[in-house]
Structure 1
Amino acid sequence: MIYPTLKTLMEKVDSKYSLVVAVAKRARQLVSGASPLIDEENANDRPVTTAVREIESGAVTYKHMKK
């Protein structure tokens, strides 16, 4: 089973699109050298995995911006 589940992640965001955008932006920040916001048991996790876990834990949030 995949952890965290999509159902769990959808409780943190309002749409699948928003989830994908938030994970992608946070993963890019991690690749660029940002420190993880959660304690990772496995420091070898890929940036996308870390970003998903940060969103699931509530360490990363997002807000919609008007253009």
Structure 2
Amino acid sequence: MIHPSYKELIEVINNGQDMDEAPLVTSRYSIVLATSKRARQLIAGAEPLVKTRGKKALSVAVDELYKGKVNILPSEEEE
């Protein structure tokens, strides 16, 4: 069982959005893309933003998203 679930991650990421704004994340696909991109950064040598011990890069990326350490930007704000 994956913890947190996709549903929990989507709720945490969209928390704080204004009601008239479109949610940042609407599907599991968005979560998968964000976590895989962050996991690749971690594999390439980026420092984890949460305390880890023996966790794989993907697990660390999920933890970072869940704890709000990494943000998903709308497509027009990406560089």
- The TM-score bracket by the shorter chain reads 0.7 to 0.9
Matched, 1:9 2:9: yes
Out of 31, 40, 44, which is 2:54 matched to? 44
Tell me the TM-score normalised to structure 1 length: 0.83
Percent identity among equivalent residues? 42
Name which structure has the greater RCO, CA cutoff 8 Å, separation 6+: 1
Q: Where do 4+ consecutive residues of structure 1 move more than 2 Å?
A: none
Kindly provide the amino acid, as one letter, of the partner of residue 59 in structure 1.
K
Equivalent residue pairs, number:
64
Q: How far did residue 47 of structure 1 move?
A: 0.3
Structural RMSD (CA)? 1.3
So what's the TM-score if we normalise by structure 2?
0.72
Cα distance, 1:7 vs structure 2: 1.8
The structure with the larger Rg is 2
